[in-house]
């Protein structure tokens, strides 16, 4: 083995020897055993993997590259702590979530408290955990380390929703909270989130300061006895009952509330079921019908390995249960119950409301309730003025609703660490949401998203509509007619390992330097939040506006305003190796009769925009060199065009997505020569910066185009052949779009 490889093996062995977890010890023993077997086989002439005798050499043979890669994935670097805390797949090593890493986080926090926030020891820390594998173990290890460091520790009594922990921090007047959870991540993951004294998530710059203390901890030299033995803590059972009572008090079922709704609920193998049932019972609502296979916490997540309610197929069992039971509504919490999804029946069957649709419904309910409680105006005679909040990548309908109600709406960066503080020093947040199914309907109780209190408000709204013979979809139609139809969509480009993540990062930098001039045939203007802004440009019924006086910290978010009624947002996920693309299209409608056609057209437009953005972000294939002359294709890369191989090239001019006209550069009125493109099949292409140079008699058959802002065009060619210079009988086509000839 080389020096670096020997060092890698030594570090893995040291970690194994310090690890108190038999499962992760066994994981490393297997990897180290494979390395040792390869080395012994090379030195001793053992048979190779293919059955041939090994050849003895000067030393040991090279270990299996896959085995070394497995060690490197676990030991090259360490998990970074940020505002979202720390989250990763469980396993051995500093790049996985395990007992040593959890102990390192707790030890770093204890050092930070002693050095930078001494009040924390007396005010204390509340520790909670969800039902994932090892969550209770990680929580207990962290509590033990903090308690033995002199920090007063309170512990929630069992696996509970994340919003209960956020509530408990405020309720117990603690300095911090630790929640062991990976929320809706894949079942292999786990993590730790940190809350501060206001019950909200950690904010910069404290996250970087805490991270520096965590980084200074050697996980192989944690305090003696950290992994076993008793420690002092205070049970926080009363915080759980206080949460249930406080949430229920704001959503009691009124007497004579109308027809009783049949509701199906799924906890997706998480911890939301018992808490939701307790809240509903305390508020006088009937118990929901459970999705039995997903009702109880199960760290194996046997029916949904990726328990994100937004993911395809995750709510299939809930849909089947609703159909079987004849239900009126489906409520779905993610595994730590801080998010909520809602499904409603319709003419085409059950469908899930988008996060923006539900966000608008809940915001509308809060604003109407606010108006009823303050007839003289939303601010009332006393107290700070109310504020609602949403994020730069969420829909803009909430802003329209707030304007109509005379309430200030604040736009923040993604994440409830920002939303929960949107009221600022001079306002009181009454509602906040983000499109990823996160809703704060009782921010006076929980300074974070809360899928339990949100579910209770959905029930109230659904019951009110049902009493009038209506459904939630009817209220959405009301809002569309009154404030414009707002259609939103989302896509994710997931990275495959560090190399894939680097590719996505490079793609964002390319389009940041030179964004497309047009998408879907409409001009594009750009807001780059990395530059900072005194507010964010938003859609306001088709008009651009800013939110003055609401500075937003610089963020890696691009907003492309497409025409005067649409926008595309691009950002990296804060919790997963993924690049996210969002689109919003706004259409004015005059009556309900126009809604179906407007909705269909707006959905198509949103899909076109997201497809075009994904195409612009697609990694480039290798440059293709076409030989021999006289066939000529201009292939440009690294901003350096390849010289054309023939004279008098044709040029394809900008004409929007999927629309290409051919013009002769010497005489724009010249009848175009019939160089053309026959595609098989092609995604919509932004051709606003496209140049393709051809010999006048050449046709490129069965090719695909990838457009990049640093590259004029890259063409993957299946075949090239000559064609006589003659007028074709029909327009050439790209995909389903005809190539329009320009006079």
Please state, in angstroms and rounded to a whole number, the distance separating the CA atoms of residues 665 and 652: 10
Task: State the distance between the two ends of the chain, measured CA to CA, in whole angstroms.
Answer: 69
Q: Are residues 666 and 642 in the same domain?
A: yes
Active-site residue, selected from the candidate residues 107, 154, 183, 394: 183
Helix (H) or strand (E) holding 166: helix 162-171
Helix axis angle for 595-617 and 472-483, nearest 10°, is 80
Q: Are residues 671 and 684 in the same domain?
A: yes
Torsions phi, psi for 311 (to 5 deg): -75, 150
**Is residue 302, in this structure, part of any structural domain at all?**
no
Please state, in angstroms and rounded to a whole number, the distance separating the CA atoms of residues 97 and 713: 43
> Distance from CA of residue 574 to its chain's centroid?
7
Domain termination residue (choose one: 588, 617, 646): 617
Give the burial string for 625-651 (b: 16+ CB within 10 Å, else e). ebeeeebbbbbbbeeeebebbeeebbb
Q: Are residues 105 and 85 in the same domain?
A: yes
Torsions phi, psi for 408 (to 5 deg): -75, 135
Q: Note the pLDDT of residue 216.
A: 97
Q: Are residues 72 and 86 in the same domain?
A: no
663 has a pLDDT exceeding 90: no
Q: Are residues 566 and 677 in the same domain?
A: no
Domain termination residue (choose one: 418, 449, 480): 449
Count how many residues are written for the chain.
743
**Is residue 698, in this structure, part of any structural domain at all?**
yes
Taking only the tens place, the pLDDT of each residue in 177-190 is 999 999 999 999 99
Q: Are residues 8 and 126 in the same domain?
A: no
Q: Are residues 71 and 99 in the same domain?
A: no
Across 229-233, 606-610, 704-708, the highest mean pLDDT is recorded for 229-233
Residues 6+ positions from 4 with CB-CB distance below 8 Å: none
Please state, in angstroms and rounded to a whole number, the distance separating the CA atoms of residues 714 and 708: 8
Residue of 369, 384, 370, 480 whose CA lies nearest to 423:
384
175 has a pLDDT exceeding 70: yes
Classify the phi-psi angles of 225: left when phi > 0, otherwise alpha if psi is within -120 to 50, otherwise beta.
left
241 is catalytic: no
Q: Which of 270-274, 305-309, 334-338 has the least mean pLDDT?
A: 305-309
Helix (H) or strand (E) holding 188: none
Q: Are residues 172 and 127 in the same domain?
A: yes
**Is residue 205, in this structure, part of any structural domain at all?**
yes
Please state, in angstroms and rounded to a whole number, the distance separating the CA atoms of residues 475 and 457: 14
Q: Note the pLDDT of residue 588.
A: 94
Please state, in angstroms and rounded to a whole number, the distance separating the CA atoms of residues 488 and 396: 9
The overall pTM is greater than 0.85:
no
Q: Note the pLDDT of residue 554.
A: 78
Residue 220: asked if its preceding bond is cis (omega within 30°), the reply is no
In this predicted model, which residue has the larger pLDDT, 494 or 186? 186
26 has a pLDDT exceeding 90: yes
Mean pLDDT of 498-511: 79
Taking only the tens place, the pLDDT of each residue in 596-625 is 999 999 999 999 999 988 888 875 443 333
Q: Are residues 587 and 655 in the same domain?
A: no
Sheet containing 438-440, strands listed edge to edge, beginning at the edge strand earlier in sequence: 408-412, 386-391, 428-434, 438-440
Please state, in angstroms and rounded to a whole number, the distance separating the CA atoms of residues 684 and 657: 6
Mean pLDDT of 588-594: 94
Query: Torsion angle, CA of 648/649/654/658, rounded to 10 degrees?
Result: 140
Please state, in angstroms and rounded to a whole number, the distance separating the CA atoms of residues 169 and 650: 68
Please state, in angstroms and rounded to a whole number, the distance separating the CA atoms of residues 161 and 337: 5
CATH number of domain containing 180: 3.40.120.10
Q: Note the pLDDT of residue 633.
A: 32
Residue of 290, 77, 299, 292 whose CA lies nearest to 182:
299
Count up the domains in the chain and report the number.
5
Please state, in angstroms and rounded to a whole number, the distance separating the CA atoms of residues 498 and 506: 12
SS3 62: coil
**Is residue 158, in this structure, part of any structural domain at all?**
yes
Helix, strand, coil % over all residues of the chain, rounded to 5: 35, 25, 45
Mean pLDDT of 675-691: 32
Mean pLDDT of 37-42: 66
**Beta strand pairing call for 351-352 and 340-344:** antiparallel
**Is residue 659, in this structure, part of any structural domain at all?**
yes
SS3 214: helix
Q: Note the pLDDT of residue 114.
A: 96
Q: Note the pLDDT of residue 127.
A: 98
User: What residues form DSSP beta bridges with 149?
Assistant: none
Domain termination residue (choose one: 449, 475, 501): 449
Mean pLDDT of the chain: 79
**Is residue 193, in this structure, part of any structural domain at all?**
yes
Structural domain for 387, as ranges: 355-449
Please state, in angstroms and rounded to a whole number, the distance separating the CA atoms of residues 508 and 506: 5
User: What residues form DSSP beta bridges with 552?
Assistant: 533
**Beta strand pairing call for 698-708 and 711-722:** antiparallel
**Is residue 139, in this structure, part of any structural domain at all?**
yes
**Is residue 370, in this structure, part of any structural domain at all?**
yes
CA atoms within 13 A on the CB side of 623: 14
Q: Are residues 593 and 643 in the same domain?
A: no
Q: Are 614 and 578 in contact (CB under 8 A)?
A: no
Q: Are residues 94 and 64 in the same domain?
A: no
Measured CA distances, 602 to 488, 590, 608, 704, 736 (Å): 9, 15, 10, 27, 19
Q: Are residues 38 and 172 in the same domain?
A: no
689 has a pLDDT exceeding 70: no
Residue of 193, 412, 437 whose CA lies nearest to 429:
412
């Amino acid at each position: 083995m080389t020096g670096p490889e020997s060092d890698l093996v030594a570090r893995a062995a040291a970690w194994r020897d310090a690890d108190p977890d038999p499962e992760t010890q066994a994981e490393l023993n297997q990897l180290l055993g494979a390395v040792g077997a390869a080395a012994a086989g090379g030195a001793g002439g053992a048979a190779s993997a293919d059955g041939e005798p090994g050849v003895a050499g000067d030393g040991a043979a090279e270990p299996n590259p896959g085995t070394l890669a497995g060690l490197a994935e676990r030991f090259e670097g360490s998990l970074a702590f940020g505002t979202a805390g720390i989250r990763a797949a469980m396993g051995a090593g500093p790049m996985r979530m395990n007992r040593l890493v959890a102990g390192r986080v707790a030890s770093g926090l204890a050092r930070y408290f002693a050095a930078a926030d001494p009040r924390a020891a007396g005010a204390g820390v509340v520790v909670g955990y969800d039902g994932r594998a090892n969550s209770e173990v990680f929580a207990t290890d962290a509590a033990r380390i903090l308690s033995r460091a002199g920090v007063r520790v309170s512990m929630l009594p069992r696996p509970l929703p994340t919003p209960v922990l956020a509530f408990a921090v405020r309720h117990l007047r603690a300095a911090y909270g630790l929640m062991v959870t990976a929320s809706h991540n894949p079942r292999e993951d786990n993590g730790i989130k940190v809350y501060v004294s206001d019950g909200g998530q950690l904010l910069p710059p404290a996250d970087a300061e805490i991270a520096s203390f965590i980084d200074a901890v050697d996980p192989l030299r944690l305090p003696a006895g950290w992994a076993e033995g008793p420690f002092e803590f205070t049970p926080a059972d009363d915080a759980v009952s206080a949460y249930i009572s406080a949430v229920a008090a704001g959503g009691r079922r009124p007497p004579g509330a109308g027809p009783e709704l049949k509701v199906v609920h799924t906890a997706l193998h998480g911890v939301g079921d018992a808490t939701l049932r307790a809240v509903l019972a305390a508020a006088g609502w009937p118990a929901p019908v459970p999705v039995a296979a997903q009702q109880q916490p199960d760290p194996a997540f046997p029916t949904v390995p990726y328990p994100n309610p937004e993911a395809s197929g995750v709510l299939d069992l809930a849909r089947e249960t609703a159909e079987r039971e004849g239900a009126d509504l489906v409520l779905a919490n993610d595994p730590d119950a801080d998010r909520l999804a809602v499904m409603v029946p319709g003419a085409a069957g059950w469908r899930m409301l988008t996060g923006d649709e539900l966000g608008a419904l809940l915001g509308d309910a809060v604003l109407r309730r606010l108006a009823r409680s303050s007839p003289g105006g939303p601010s009332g005679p006393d107290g700070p003025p109310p504020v609602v909040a949403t994020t730069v990548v969420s829909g803009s309908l909430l802003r329209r609703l707030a304007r109509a109600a005379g309430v200030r709406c604040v736009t923040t960066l993604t994440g409830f660490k920002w939303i929960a503080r949107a009221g600022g020093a001079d306002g009181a947040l009454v509602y906040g949401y983000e499109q990823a199914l996160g809703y704060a309907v009782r921010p006076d109780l929980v300074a974070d998203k809360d899928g339990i209190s949100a579910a209770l408000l959905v029930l109230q709204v659904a019951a009110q509509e049902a009493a009038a013979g209506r459904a939630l979809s009817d209220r959405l139609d009301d809002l569309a007619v009154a404030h414009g139809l707002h259609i939103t969509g989302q896509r994710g480009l997931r990275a495959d390992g560090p190399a894939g993540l680097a590719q996505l990062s490079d793609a964002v930098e390319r389009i940041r330097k030179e964004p497309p001039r047009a998408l879907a045939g409409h001009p594009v203007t750009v807001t780059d939040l990395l530059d900072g802004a005194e507010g964010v440009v938003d859609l306001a019924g088709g008009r651009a506006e800013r939110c003055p006086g609401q500075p937003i910290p610089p963020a890696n978010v691009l907003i492309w305003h497409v025409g005067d009624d649409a926008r595309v947002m691009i950002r990296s996920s804060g919790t997963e190796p993924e690049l996210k693309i969002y689109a919003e299209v706004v259409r004015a409608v005059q009556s309900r009769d126009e809604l179906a056609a407007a909705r269909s057209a707006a959905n198509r437009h949103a899909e076109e925009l997201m497809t075009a953005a994904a195409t612009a972000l697609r990694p480039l294939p290798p440059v293709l060199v076409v030989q021999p002359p006289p066939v000529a294709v201009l292939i440009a890369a690294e901003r350096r065009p390849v010289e054309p191989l023939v004279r008098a090239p044709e040029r394809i001019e900008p004409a929007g997505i999927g629309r290409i006209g051919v013009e002769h550069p010497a005489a724009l009125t010249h009848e175009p020569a019939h160089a053309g493109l026959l595609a098989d099949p092609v995604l919509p292409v932004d051709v606003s910066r496209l140049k393709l140079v051809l010999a006048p008699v050449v046709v490129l058959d069965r090719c695909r185009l990838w457009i990049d802002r640093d590259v004029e065009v890259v063409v993957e060619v299946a075949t090239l052949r000559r064609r006589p210079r003659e007028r074709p009988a029909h327009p050439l086509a790209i995909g389903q779009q005809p190539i329009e000839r320009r006079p």
